[in-house]
Amino acid sequence: MEKEQLINEAKAARERAYVPYSNFQVGAALLTADGKVYGGCNIENAGYSMTNCAERTAMFKAVSEGDKSFAALAVVADTKGPVSPCGACRQVLAEFCSPDMPVYLTNLNGDVQETTVSELLPGAFSTEDLDYAARK
Ligand SMILES: O=c1ccn([C@H]2C[C@H](O)[C@@H](CO)O2)c(=O)[nH]1
Ligand SMILES: [Zn+2]
């Protein structure tokens, strides 16, 4: 799938954002290794901290459907520059995606920043850290 197509899927998912509190719509599109696309939007809650970001919505949809092998992610919001994923989403990406997986950070003006999972979260806490402690 083309990068532009994945970005368009993220824009379509963004339209479904549930954002009565921030009014800030975010969309994500996660491409699986076998060519499926999971869209995600941010979903807010009157208890603000229960909000789920677009990126994690897409990730959790995929994993809950049995997909855990990913090829690329696109994220879009109406930001001045390419949107910057929050720390929680960076940690979730690091759990399931390879360090060099491409991530396309975009906005509605057509800016596109191509980065990777490890660039977004260098030195992520990982399962290897847990394994080391467990074998002692
Ligand atoms: O990368 C981001 C940044 C923010 N948000 C959401 C969370 C909340 O609904 C709103 C404002 O933080 O934007 C995302 O979905 N993804
Ligand atoms: Zn987030």
Ligand 1, atom 15, lies closest to the CA of: 53
Task: Please tell me the distance between residue 42's alpha carbon and the centre of ligand 1 in angstroms.
Answer: 6
Separation of 135 CA from ligand 2 center, angstroms?
32
Angstrom distance (rounded) from CA 121 to CA 61: 22
Kindly report the protein residue whose alpha carbon is nearest to atom 5 of ligand 1.
53
Q: Which domain holds residue 59?
A: 3-134
Q: Is 4 annotated as catalytic?
A: no
ipTM of this complex prediction, to 2 decimal places: 0.99
Q: Domain total for the chain?
A: 1
Q: Is 79 in the pocket of ligand 1 (CB under 6 A)?
A: no
CATH of residue 71's domain is 3.40.140.10
Residue 136 has pLDDT above 80, yes or no: no
Neighbours of 20 (CB within 10 A): 8
Write out pLDDT tens, residues 35-68.
999 999 999 999 999 999 999 999 999 999 999 9
Q: What is the mean pLDDT of the chain?
A: 97
